[in-house]
A and B are shown apart, each in its own frame.
Chain A
Amino acid sequence: MRKSASLIYHFAERESKARYKRSLLGWFWSFMNPLTTVLVYNFVFGVVYGAKAPLTDNGKAESFGLYLFTGLVVWSVFTGVVNGSMGWLAGVSELRKKIYFPTETALLGGAAANAVQTSLEAVVLITIMIAFANISWTVIFLFVALTLVMLFALGIGFIVSVFNARYRDMQYLMGILLGVAFFAVPIVYTEELLNRQEVPDLVRVFVTWNPPALFVEIARDAMYFLEVPQWNRLLAATVWAVVTFTVGWVFFRSKSMEISEEP
């Protein structure tokens, strides 16, 4: 157990260090990335298409940018961990052929590094919300949402990384699937848009209840509308996260000894 903990720490440290190795500005880039994404999306959807975000709780701001940013913080955990897991496992597979160590520590370490990065983004989000005087104790549900999305993403990461160890097709497939999934979550559009008649019921239900959407909605309730998330959303999100993580973990553990035999 202690051995695993020190390995997780090691892999997390390596992931964090390697990320901005040989760069002058280092961690500055980790803020630039979400910032430019928010600015570009805000311009395209907010300015060009004139999308309107709902009013924040204090009624002062109606900021599409903040609406976006809240969703993106959660979404980036999902894509970061799912995509990352394949790289984290591939990164240690040569090593694992020469020395025994529990392979899951590489994924858990990568996820820990992602969690540090996400915490920084969360701090930025909270700071901005404080500046807009749009903050409440419901902020704790932001961390609930981030924990749940992390568990869910790790569960999927455990599964796809094992497949990717054998067939690299997995990473290309995931690149496409995640690109599609981004639009199945109300991040660049609002939930209100779904309530129009043209939208089929099936689409509405799917976009409201798919797991990544649930995590995003919980975070937005907490940070943007300053409401306690609906209990049925919290329950569904928790069940999705715990079940997916457990299934992924069990699957990974049953296959992890075969990784050293991949060519």
Chain B
Amino acid sequence: MSTRAISVDGVSKKFRLERNRPSSIKEAILRIGKTNDADDFWVLRDIQLQIERGSFFGLIGHNGSGKSTLLRLMAGIHRPTTGTIESDGRLSALLELGSGFHPDLTGRENVFLNGAMLGLSRKQMAESMDTIIEFSGIGDFIDEPVKIYSSGMYVRLGFAVAVNVDPEILLVDEVIAVGDEAFQRRCMAHMNLLREKGTTIVLVSHNTRLMTELCDTIGWLDHGRLMEVGPSEGVIASYLAAVDADGDNKLTTRD
């Protein structure tokens, strides 16, 4: 095993803008073979990043800076337009509300489905089932379809699964904030526990105080470009300074 958990090498990501999609078959046929740069939006540009094994890495940046897209690329959900992205180890991701849950299935069925997606056998999942139910505090709702869950229940079950499948790399987008105070504390405690076990964690958040507390390294994204990577305090200071300089205090008060 290398010392790198995730290697991002020259990664750019382009999305197609919806408003420019052909709206009829005729238009679609007329457009065959024609590409127009105006149709594209570059979410990430030329990202170069190494995340060391066992580190607690944070990603900060303004809304739309590309943090979540970078996380999705790491999770293998999207393929980079250019460059390569490699992860080494079993990867578990909690990317958004109800991440990876099928609304019609019960909580229990979803836990098995998630386990299968992470490469865990039914038996392994059955063994962790009690821990997951206990950790999530879902109780009897585990046998109800997840579509009737509250948003807090969604996140709690999602987090319980993500951290109890013994991940080597854990990706967490800003979702924990949805849970109540007690659950948030439990999440923090558990993430620290995972870190002690050597799990590599990548966290996206706007909560700079929390990031300073948890992360040892932080990357700052601005309009799809990686501005700075380094020890938490330094990068957050640069980020906040940039926000201040922008005369835009909206983000700093979110804390």
Contacts and interface: CB of A to CB of B under 8 A. Distances in A.
Interface of A: 2-3, 6-7, 9-10, 14, 18, 95-101, 167, 169, 257, 260-261, 263
19 contacts: A3-B119, A6-B121, A6-B122, A7-B116, A7-B117, A9-B116, A95-B101, A95-B102, A98-B95, A98-B99, A99-B93, A99-B100, A100-B75, A100-B77, A101-B117, A169-B25, A257-B78, A257-B79, A261-B15
B100 A6 contact: no
Nearest to A99: B100
A204 to B, nearest CB: 34
A96 B95 CA distance: 12
A257 B105 CA distance: 24
Interface in B13-33: 15-16, 18, 25, 28
Contacts of B117: 3, 7, 99-101
Given A257-B79, A261-B15, A99 B116 contact: no
Provide the main secondary structure of the chain B interface: loop
Interface string B35-58: 000000000000000000000000
B136 interface: no
A95 B77 CA distance: 10
Interface SS, A side: helix
A260 B112 contact: no
Contacts of B93: 99-100
Nearest to B114: A99
A7 B121 CA distance: 10
A6 B78 contact: no
A168 to B, nearest CB: 12
Given A6-B121, A7-B117, A169-B25, A260 B77 contact: yes
A15 to B, nearest CB: 12
Nearest to A6: B116
A95 B117 CA distance: 11
B100 A95 contact: yes
Contact of A10 (B77, B99, B116): B116
Nearest to B109: A14
A260 B76 CA distance: 10
Contact of B78 (A101, A261, A263): A261
Contact of A98 (B15, B100, B109): B100
Which of A2, A6, A97, A257 has the most chain B CB within a 10 Å cutoff?
A6
Contacts of B25: 167, 169
Contacts of B119: 2-3
B102 A99 contact: no
Given A98-B77, A260-B77, A10 B104 contact: no
Nearest to A5: B116
Nearest to A10: B116
B77 A99 contact: yes
A257 B85 CA distance: 14
Contacts of A14: 105, 109
Nearest to B117: A101
B77 A96 contact: yes
Contacts of A167: 25, 28
Nearest to B97: A98
A189 B96 CA distance: 55
